[in-house]
Amino acid sequence: MIRSENISKGKSGEDLASKYLLKQGFQIVEKNFRSGRFGEIDIVCKKDDLLVFVEVRSKTNLNRGTPAESINNLKRERILKSAKYFLMKYPKYSNFNLRFDFIGIKVKGKFFRKTEIEHIENVFSCDEF
């Protein structure tokens, strides 16, 4: 798959994840938050006093593993650093409870017609934060 198709697939997956989170009662605070050299957080959302940093992965070819299996230690470290940067940039969220979630989108048909959403809460501990 070429890079522009990967970006399009990722954006479609993030849009589906955002809709899913809205249905779960979350408010989207920010999408594609960039923290300079650390990377990006796909979705930052909140519900009551809970702030959630969400990594979204979409996969069409499950022969190379599930979306959740694509999160490695380097990605986890980048998400943690990006979350710290987010809280420095937006101190109004510093008293919120924090959670790190993962949403995997398994694409089974062309154009995201058939999808399966896997939502893993607390994909890694805030103790690492």
CA distances from 74 to 2, 5, 110 (A): 23, 24, 31
pLDDT of residue 59: 77
The answer to whether 77 and 128 have CB atoms below 8 angstroms apart is no
pLDDT of residue 6: 41
Distance between CA atoms of 2 and 108, rounded to whole angstroms? 19
Domains belonging to the chain, first-starting first, are 3-128 (3.40.1350.10)
pLDDT of residue 11: 63
Closest CA to 61 of 7, 122, 105, 127: 105
User: Beta strand pairing status for 27-34 and 40-47?
Assistant: antiparallel
What is the model's pTM?
A: 0.85
Return per-residue pLDDT of the chain as tens, 129 residues: 444 344 344 467 899 999 999 999 999 999 999 998 888 999 999 999 999 999 999 877 666 666 677 788 888 899 999 999 999 999 999 999 999 999 999 887 665 566 789 999 998 877 766
Burial of 82 (0-12, 13-18, 19+ CB in 10 A): buried
Question: What is the 8-class DSSP label of residue 25?
Answer: T
The token duo for 4 is 């522009």
